[in-house]
A and B are shown apart, each in its own frame.
Chain A
Amino acid sequence: MRLAQAGARVVVLERGPYYTLRDFTHDEVAICRRDFFVPSVDTDPHTVRKDGGASATRTSEGWIGVNVGGGTVHMSGFTYRLHEEDFTLKSRTGGLAGADLADWPIAYADFARYYDLTEALLGVSGAAGINPFESRSRPYPMPPMRAHPAAALVDEAARGLGYHPFPTPRAVVSRAYGSRPPCTYCGFCGDYGCENGSKSSVLSTFIPRAIATGRCEIRAEARVVRIVVDDAAPNRVRGVEYVDASGISHVLEARIVVLAASAIESARLLLLSTSTHHPHGLGNGSGLVGRNLTFSTFGKATASFSRAALRERLGEADMDLPFLQRSVQDDYWMPRSGLALGKGGTYNFILHHPNPINATMRMIMESDWELAGEALSERMRRYFHDELWMEVEIFGEFLPTARTYIDLDDHVRDAQGLPVARISVQQHPADVEVSRVMTQRSVDMLSAIQPAADKVWKYAEGGTTFHLQHGTCRFGRDPSHSVLNPSCRAHELDNLYVTDGSFMPTSGGVPATPTIIANSLRVADILRQRFVRGEIAG
């Protein structure tokens, strides 16, 4: 968008489809259970091996959103900034055995204005000045989303335990914003596209603005299979080779190539793009392409409340609002906790997703598949009519280590005949330890709510959220310890940039979406300067 606005001609190549608002329904089966946003595991798998296991199995884990607008189309839109300590974790801590920590090569103070710009361009709703653990100088563009009345109970319980709950910032518009209408509170943000246009996805915001310049073309169902480098000019990329929906191969030449296919797939494409002068993958002189992969460490606690008891305390009004809208970041960074590395993250208070099939299947699975018959019917009736489930989901730091990375699978190929990305994942014990502590604290916070829950339980701890992924092309000043320079340009190539989560040396304790967009705007400014200086003729 920024380059097209500056007068450059831009082509966006996207492997997946170009959905429009009309494609977005609430059909749980079609959208959530049949590969609407991710490719089929038969034609485009990843493979994964966990915890040092030898053999990798086929999976659809690690895909985010294979469509124009990527994962922002089906995200829930929880939009938190990184904190200052995320940029200087190595120097603050001196490092940690077994973790490949690195400081970011840019200052947080210089980056913050891009967060401001991101919030304005996307349309992010929130309330500044309530979370004591975030530093920001500007208010949010619009007030926070409306919260379920039970948020007051969360506030009371969390504050009673010494925490500082704040309204969850969302990339969802709480007011009419530009031409987009305000949210209708259907509750179907997560896993679905927003047919109302109120979710601030890239599809609803940047894409239309880019197209409006008349200089940006979106080519959907265009699968890039290789970045092309001529042997005669090994320090430049010539363009990309891609396959269209009919299976026909094209080469698109370009003066600048920006790669943003997700941390896993961007690294995979670089590893696939070998040539005489780049025998180990494009831009991989450091050997670090695909390494230092980080995800987000997952934990969750759930509490089941009686709706009748809640109505007694809260009244009848607004009890169908879908969002709890509360977050806590007291444990974002716990340097005096006595933990090996007290790098925690964010507690996000939510109501259980409205998907009825998913809710029913979860209850069956939690019974080890024994729940059936009249007992199942009765359980469903009680869940849907009598109960309200509150949850705390945790976004925890995921430390970079030598054991979590992607490479090319020797045995499994995609429908194009290309080796797929093989994900190796083994978490640092410090992450698991922190996750246990945070999950227990989530249980404690839910248990402190009055009226008391009928039941509070740990759903998961020390898990991995695969669709939050970073690190595989980390940026830095030293070409032997990074793939990209501080401008996110490949050290070895004059005109190749990578702007998805690959650039992030550390994951942080939040979903990286606004950080990735903010960084893209920063890199866009750098490219605009190059364009204006005539280094990139339009």
Chain B
Amino acid sequence: MTQPTRRDLMRGLVGAGGLLLLPVCRLHKPAEPVLEGPIGAWPRERQETLAAAADRILPGATAAGALHYMSYWLAQPFWTFASHEFEIGALLLQREARQRRRLGFASLGGADQDEVLSVMRRGDLTSARFDSAGFYKRLVTLTVESYLADPKYGGNKDGVGWQLVGAHSCWWAPKKLDRLWPVVGAGDVL
């Protein structure tokens, strides 16, 4: 039997290390989908501001994929006009937060975040190139859409929004309904 080479030793170590590493890998969550589109290119702090604003508007929105949803739609023709506006809006929320508390918007307490959003909603941050109240409405609109839209657009993760809607609403395709109503009975209200 030949002496084990350094290479053999290295392989052995790696093998042992691999066995040790494997259970650690299994404990990690599956990776979040990469945030693509316009918001994906923003600095992290600006993304976090938008995420915090969305969560203040509708709790759980970010976990449900609000940023993915918004980033997708801000790149489509219908909403491209708002892509720049959303970045300015996030910047202004940041600036307002720093002026009040010297903290980033995402680090503010909930009541302070609400106050900053109210300022935006009332139109107080309007300038020649920015419509503060209009931005607030569009932010709310995309946040609500993200929670309740088809998950294929990046939001409503695992159908969390549709669980809120509940089983008695018939918004899903009729093929999934297990009821049909073709027969009219004697006492039916017609």
User: Which of B78, B137, B166 is within 8 Å of A384, CB to CB?
Assistant: B166
Chain B 42-60 residues near chain A, CB threshold 8 A: 56-60
Q: Contacts A29-B149, A185-B181; is A196 near B174 (CB within 8 Å)? A: yes
Cα-based distance from A33 to B146 in the complex (angstroms): 13
Q: Does B4 interact with chain A (Cβ within 8 Å)?
A: no
Nearest Cβ in chain B — how far from A120, in angstroms?
A: 20
Q: Please name all residues of chain A whose beta carbon is closer than 8 Å to the beta carbon of B10 when the two chains form the complex.
A: none
Report if A419 contacts B (CB, 8 A): no
- Contact string against A for B residues 65-102, beta-carbon threshold 8 Å, 1 for contact and 0 otherwise: 00000000000111000000000000000000000000
A165 to B77, CA, bound (A): 46
Interface size on A, residues (CB 8 A): 56
Segment with Cβ contacts to B, from A367-375, A446-454, A527-535? A367-375
> Are A143 and B78 also in contact (CB < 8 A) when A364-B140, A372-B57 are?
no
List, in ascending order, chain B residues with CB within 8 A of A26's CB: 171-173
Q: Which of A276-284, A315-323, A460-468 contacts B (4 or more CB under 8 A)?
A: A315-323
Q: Which of B149, B150, B164, B170 contacts A186 (CB 8 A)?
A: B170
Q: Is the CB of A35 within 8 A of B171?
A: no
Question: Which of B14-22, B25-33, B124-132, B182-190 forms contacts with chain A?
Answer: B182-190
Interface flag for A135 (CB, 8 Å) = no
**C-beta contact mask, B95-130 vs A, less than 8 Å → 1, else 0?**
000000000000000100010010001000000000
Interface assignment of B2: CB less than 8 Å from any CB of chain A: no
Contact indicator A372/B141 (Cβ below 8 Å): no
Q: Are A372 and B190 in contact (CB under 8 A)?
A: no
Task: Please give, as numbers and ranges, the residues of chain A lying within 8 Å of B60 by CB-CB distance.
Answer: 377
Q: Would you call B114 and A147 a contact (CB within 8 A)?
A: no
**CB-CB under 8 A for A146 and B181, given A356-B148, A364-B144:** yes
B180 close to A (CB within 8 Å): yes
Q: Is B13 an interface residue (CB 8 A)?
A: no
Cβ-defined partner of B169 (8 Å) among A42, A147, A384: A384
Against B, the Cβ 8 Å flags (1 = close, 0 = not) of A167-209 are 1000000111000001111111000000110000000000000
A96 on the B face (CB < 8 A): no
Taking CB atoms, residues of chain A closer than 8 Å to B137 are: 369
Contact (A374, B59) CB under 8 Å given A40-B77, A183-B181, A369-B121: yes
Interface string of B137-178 (1 = CB under 8 A from A): 100110011001110010000000110111011111110010
Residues of B within 8 A of A319 (CB): 168
Report A-chain residues with C-beta under 8 Å of the C-beta of B188.
Answer: 146
Chain A interface, >50% SS class: loop
Contact assessment for A186 and B177 in the assembled complex, using a CB-CB cutoff below 8 Å: yes
Contact (Cβ within 8 A) A357 B59 = no
Q: Is A29 a contact partner of B180 (Cβ separation < 8 A)?
A: no
Given that A384-B166, A384-B169 are contacting pairs, would A361 and B150 also be in contact in the complex, using a CB cutoff of 8 Å? no
Which chain B residues lie closer than 8 Å to A25 at the CB level? 173
The reply to whether A184 and B174 form a contact with Cβ atoms under 8 Å apart is yes
Known contacts A321-B181, A356-B161; decide if A372 and B58 are in contact (CB<8 Å).
yes
Say if the beta carbon of A313 comes within 8 Å of chain B.
no
A-B contact pairs, 16 of them (CB 8 A): A25-B173, A27-B149, A28-B171, A40-B78, A143-B184, A146-B181, A184-B174, A185-B170, A322-B170, A355-B171, A360-B144, A361-B141, A364-B144, A372-B58, A380-B164, A384-B169
Residues of B participating in the A interface, judged by any CB pair closer than 8 Å: 56-60, 76-78, 110, 114, 117, 121, 136-137, 140-141, 144-145, 148-150, 153, 161-162, 164-166, 168-174, 177, 180-182, 184, 188-190
Residues of chain A having any CB pair with chain B under 8 Å: 25-30, 33-35, 40, 42, 127, 143-144, 146-149, 151-152, 167, 174-176, 182-188, 195-196, 319-322, 325, 354-357, 360-361, 364, 369-370, 372-374, 376-377, 380-381, 384-385
- Assuming A372-B56, A377-B164, A384-B165, what are 5 further A-B pairs, CB within 8 angstroms? A146-B188, A186-B174, A369-B137, A373-B110, A385-B166
